[in-house]
Structure 1
Amino acid sequence: MDFQQSKYSIDSLVQRVRSGKLALPDFQRDFVWEPKEVVDLLDSISRQWPIGSLLLLSGPQPFAFRPINSGPELSVSDLDLYILDGQQRVTALFHAIADVSDFCYFVDFQELLNGSDEVFSWERRSKFERQYPDVKSRAKGMVALVTDLWEISKFYEWMRFVPENIDTSQVIHLRQTRLGGLQSKVYDVFAIVLEQDIDLEALARIFETINRKGVDLDAFELLVAKLYPHGFNLKEEWEKAREEFRILGDFDPDEKHKLELLKLVSLIIRISEGKKFSRGVRQGDLLALSKENISTYWRDGVSLMAETLQFAKLNFGVISPELLPNWAMIHGLAGLIKFHRYDATEAWWRNSLIEQHYAQAANTKIVAHWDILRTGAFTVEKVQIGEDKAREILAKPAGANGLLNKGLLALIYKGGALDPLTNKPLQSSQRIAFRSISSDGVIRRIRSVDKISQIIMLSDEGDKKIGRQILASDPKVSQLALSSQGLDLGTYERVEAFLINVLQSGEI
């Protein structure tokens, strides 16, 4: 089989998308990355870290094709490359650099100047452009879109409007160093390019192979290798923890999140031994932890994680990974439990959901949260929400606001919600599935445009019954159950008063 190894600048990949020369085979899945994953990719590129290679296929080919998400329409005469592996990365880069998606990706230079390590953020385009309608307003606010950074001419146009009290030489230096990879003609992506005349049977086998589930290499696996020669078998300790505390396995059945336990251990080391022994919870911070401290505080971390998950399950309806807002919320809750601030857990949890405080820059915020708890200066007041705020929450897209959506549904679950297709309490089910409901009462799979107001929960049994489509007006569907999840039976959308009750009192 013939193939060639090549490298493409990010500029050339983006230009190929713009000109219709790079496309997807129609059998590829849709773009599924959430904004956080796009931000993580941008952060790696800004540091000029490797992001993996692409697998491309020379064209044209005898099968259907489609454009990259948000890309232009395609013509078979222009098309010369298909993406077999790397669609999510290429699409994410196109969205950020061409600034064409529903989200705006930007750098907060004020955070950079203050020494923060988490400087990339995202916001829905409609909200971002209301706050920053042009380059002048962005510069005045010290935020720069990725597209502002990419071309030197655009960057200096942005620099013209930076406030006078800002040291512009330092801003320029940060673009060249900390953000060095996010500049035109700097970063190259490696690719394997399969020849146009490849046998289709071989192509099918290659595609099947690259889409099989792989094993991520993260700080946990690296620490297993690092600590083993020193007599501490981290993998074995993890297995012991899962055996002793079943809830750890319940929330991490495929062992993808065992790194979260190490983050908790690192936080405990930080408040027990001092900041010089634990810088934080990023992967580099975890890899810098000493064998002695990991082995000393491992047991404390295991016990605290189990206690925290059990607390979230009993108090906030987080009964499974599907209803877990995100792991940063668990780390924050663990801090309150560690410092015996049970009185603050209710208000803190609901506030964190409403404000989605840990949806971005979570690593930095969690470390700061624990540091404040250690000083004893932590205070929290319950956020009061009215109809306007409730309406704003319900109108948010569910997919892009996963923390808020899952946390809200977990509270609804805890309040005694019923399954729309069986009329049984959801609490009797071992697993919860999410669906959306349309304005004409059709229950269906969730789409990217579906709002929080449209998302409903089903039990195992209900999810199996649903088939492709079931009308909510069908007598098999319980109107009472839909009401128990806060839906108005005229509009089939969750109502503001219901949301206010859930977020303020926990009652439905």
Structure 2
Amino acid sequence: MDFHSRETPIDELLTGVDAGQLALPEFQREFIWSPSNVLELLRSIARRWPTGTFLLLEGHGGQFATRPIDGAPPPAKRPRILVLDGQQRITALYHALRPVAEEVYFLDVQKLVGEEPDEAFRFTKRSSFDAQYPNTKALATALILPFSVMYDDDSFYDWLKHVAEPFQSQVRRARDRDFAGLRRHVYRMPCIYLSPGIELAALAKIFETLNRTTERLDTFDLMTASVYSEGLNLRKEWSDATDEYPLLDRFSVDPLEILKLIVLADGLLGDGRPGVRQSDVLRLSPKIVRARWSRCVQAYADALRIASQRFGAISAGLLPSRAMVLPLATATISDPLASDSAAIERWWWRSVFRQSYAQGANTQVVVDARALVTLEPRSVGGVEVTPDVMLDSRRRNEMLTRGICCMLTTDGALTQEGIPVHQSPTGATTEPTRIFPVDSEPQLDVVANYMVATRNGPRRRRDYGAREDLLAAGSRGSTIAESQMISWRALRLDSASQLLKERAKLLAQQAEAKMQRG
């Protein structure tokens, strides 16, 4: 089998997409990354860190049907290159560096001052962004720098001339030094190019090997090695912890979260500096890890129990944000009874419905943990809860979608079997589930189109919608629908638009009521 490797400039790949010469084989899955995933990739590329290898097929000979990258022009009849592995990354880059996606990805320059640079990487809905910043001068005046502008020299300097000092020098320095990977021609992606004559059997074997053997070294592995010489085996400690607290396994908790909690607790309740970033964790001393490990494991498990029993997050698929567990756990360390306070309840629902952890979660964790430990009232910023937000894309509002399902669970939503969702069997998967299918009508993939449901088998198909099952259940289906704020009348009429508009209003009203309680 012939192949060669080459570090390929990002711009060469994106230009190929523009020209229809770089496309996807039809068998590739849809683009599923959330905007937060896109930002993570941009942060790594900005710093010129490795982001994996692309597997590409050269000289497409017509053996596969093709389709374009999401948002790109139609491919040529026989594209020069097909993406076999790397579709999510190339699509993410195309969305961020070309004005084609529903989201705009940008650098909030003001957040570079006195904050962690990662927090300056942001996204928002394009329609509202374009209305707020109609031209280059408006963007520059607000110190908002889209990555598509930052990437191109001419566009960047046209933007920069409208920026006043001292921000001009600061932005130029950040672009040239800190985030140089997001300049045209700088970042090169390692690519393996397969010859066009590759046999399907060989290709299948390559995919099997990639999917089976891809493992990454993470921060927990590095800390395990660091503290091992002090006689502390974190792998064994974590194994013992999951045996003692089954919730940790049920929620698929990454043991790194315990180390983050140790840093946070030591900073707010001890003598350390609070933080939850990778650099904060790597500064932990073995002595602090040993001293706080057991209590932090227990506190994290307690926080999951509170989230499950009190706030309806009964499974990993319903947890609005894993980062929210950390402030809650810190509060239980400070005061085991604090979790019963009205302040905790207000904080939870306001954070969930206003999606304050959707961006800048690391900073939010520290701010909220400090407020919960002192039980000081604090305003929660973020997206306002309106019917319009309920009719916005789920992909852009994942935290809200899960939060709505948590709310429905606490308010007595019923499963397809007619039992309360919170009484679902332990082995069942509880998750947001579509009411109307979205395969042929992607515009229906909005927050209001999701109810909370359980399943015992494999993941549902993209063309699944619960509507048919509810109608087939007759009177029981009517009771289930009403428990999930679904109009039975509109459901029977098969009026998706009418049902979702009605439901969006009800969900927004109930969310607002939740935020006022406590």
Structure 1 and Structure 2 fold alike (TM over 0.5): yes
Say which SS state the counterpart of residue 321 (structure 1) adopts: coil
| Aligned residue number for residue 318 of structure 2 | 323
Q: CA separation in 1, counterparts of 2:221 and 2:234?
A: 9
Summarize deviations over 1:190-217 as a string: whole Å, max 9, x none.
1111111112211121123223474332
| Aligned residue number for residue 495 of structure 2 | none
Say which SS state the counterpart of residue 178 (structure 2) adopts: coil
| Aligned residue number for residue 131 of structure 1 | 132
Count of equivalent residues: 492
Residue 236 of structure 1 aligns to which amino acid in structure 2?
A: K
How many Å apart are 1:243 and its aligned residue?
Answer: 1.1
| Aligned residue number for residue 458 of structure 1 | 453
Q: Is the 8 A contact 2:39 2:121 kept in 1?
A: yes
- Which of residues 471, 494, 499 in structure 2 aligns to 1:492? 499
Summarize deviations over 1:109-133 as a string: whole Å, max 9, x none.
1111334322101111112222222
Q: Pairwise mapping of residues 306-321 of structure 1 onto structure 2 (< 5 A)?
A: 306-321=301-316
Q: Pairwise mapping of residues 14-413 of structure 1 onto structure 2 (< 5 A)?
A: 14-61=14-61, 62-77=63-78, 79-117=79-117, 118-162=119-163, 164=164, 166-212=166-212, 214-252=214-252, 257-275=254-272, 278=273, 280-340=275-335, 341-342=338-339, 343=341, 344-372=343-371, 376=374, 378-380=376-378, 389-413=385-409
Q: Is the 8 A contact 2:268 2:370 kept in 1?
A: yes
| Residues 424 and 382 of structure 1, relative CA distance in 2, 3 Å threshold | same
Q: Is the 8 A contact 1:398 1:448 kept in 2?
A: no
Say which SS state the counterpart of residue 8 (structure 2) adopts: strand
| Aligned residue number for residue 493 of structure 2 | none
How many Å apart are 1:165 and its aligned residue?
Answer: 5.2
The answer for unaligned runs of 5 or more in structure 2 is 491-497
Summarize deviations over 1:480-499 as a string: whole Å, max 9, x none.
21111111232333252454
Say which SS state the counterpart of residue 107 (structure 1) adopts: strand
Residue 39 of structure 1 aligns to which amino acid in structure 2?
A: L
Q: CA separation in 2, counterparts of 1:49 and 1:329?
A: 28
Residue 480 of structure 2 aligns to which amino acid in structure 1?
A: A
Summarize deviations over 1:452-475 as a string: whole Å, max 9, x none.
111112233699999956634434
| Residues 16 and 398 of structure 1, relative CA distance in 2, 3 Å threshold | same
Q: Pairwise mapping of residues 473-492 of structure 1 onto structure 2 (< 5 A)?
A: 473-476=471-474, 478-489=477-488, 490=490, 491-492=498-499
TM-score if structure 2 supplies the norm length? 0.88
Residue 399 of structure 2 aligns to which amino acid in structure 1?
A: L
Q: Is the 8 A contact 2:412 2:421 kept in 1?
A: yes
Residue 378 of structure 2 aligns to which amino acid in structure 1?
A: V
Q: CA separation in 1, counterparts of 2:460 and 2:68?
A: 35
Q: CA separation in 2, counterparts of 1:36 and 1:381?
A: 24
Residue 94 of structure 1 aligns to which amino acid in structure 2?
A: Y
| Residues 297 and 465 of structure 1, relative CA distance in 2, 3 Å threshold | closer
| Aligned residue number for residue 494 of structure 2 | none
Q: Is the 8 A contact 2:387 2:507 kept in 1?
A: no
How many Å apart are 1:151 and its aligned residue?
Answer: 1.3
Q: CA separation in 2, counterparts of 1:44 and 1:370?
A: 27
| Residues 73 and 199 of structure 1, relative CA distance in 2, 3 Å threshold | same
85-94 or 489-498, larger mean C-alpha shift: 489-498
Summarize deviations over 1:9-54 as a string: whole Å, max 9, x none.
0111110111111111111111111111110010011111111111
364-373 or 119-128, larger mean C-alpha shift: 364-373
Q: Is the 8 A contact 1:437 1:443 kept in 2?
A: no
Q: CA separation in 1, counterparts of 2:458 and 2:443?
A: 20
Q: Is the 8 A contact 1:486 1:495 kept in 2?
A: no
Summarize deviations over 1:90-124 as a string: whole Å, max 9, x none.
11111111121111000011111334322101111
Q: CA separation in 2, counterparts of 1:264 and 1:402?
A: 24
Q: Is the 8 A contact 1:488 1:495 kept in 2?
A: no
Q: CA separation in 2, counterparts of 1:199 and 1:49?
A: 33
Summarize deviations over 1:250-274 as a string: whole Å, max 9, x none.
111xx5x222222111111222443
| Residues 12 and 495 of structure 1, relative CA distance in 2, 3 Å threshold | closer
Q: Is the 8 A contact 1:347 1:382 kept in 2?
A: no
Q: Is the 8 A contact 1:4 1:194 kept in 2?
A: yes
Q: CA separation in 2, counterparts of 1:434 and 1:169?
A: 46
Q: CA separation in 2, counterparts of 1:349 and 1:479?
A: 31
How many Å apart are 1:449 and its aligned residue?
Answer: 4.8
Summarize deviations over 1:324-362 as a string: whole Å, max 9, x none.
001111112223333434421111011101211111110
Percent identity over paired residues: 33
| Residues 305 and 448 of structure 1, relative CA distance in 2, 3 Å threshold | farther
Residue 182 of structure 1 aligns to which amino acid in structure 2?
A: L
Say which SS state the counterpart of residue 217 (structure 2) adopts: coil
Q: CA separation in 1, counterparts of 2:39 and 2:349?
A: 26
How many Å apart are 1:368 and its aligned residue?
Answer: 2.8
360-369 or 142-151, larger mean C-alpha shift: 360-369
Q: Is the 8 A contact 2:20 2:74 kept in 1?
A: yes
Q: Is the 8 A contact 1:9 1:188 kept in 2?
A: yes
Residue 368 of structure 2 aligns to which amino acid in structure 1?
A: H
Q: Pairwise mapping of residues 426-437 of structure 1 onto structure 2 (< 5 A)?
A: 426-430=421-425, 431-437=429-435
Q: CA separation in 1, counterparts of 2:504 and 2:484?
A: 10
Q: CA separation in 1, counterparts of 2:29 and 2:380?
A: 42
The answer for unaligned runs of 5 or more in structure 1 is none
How many Å apart are 1:445 and its aligned residue?
Answer: 11
How many Å apart are 1:279 and its aligned residue?
Answer: 5.8
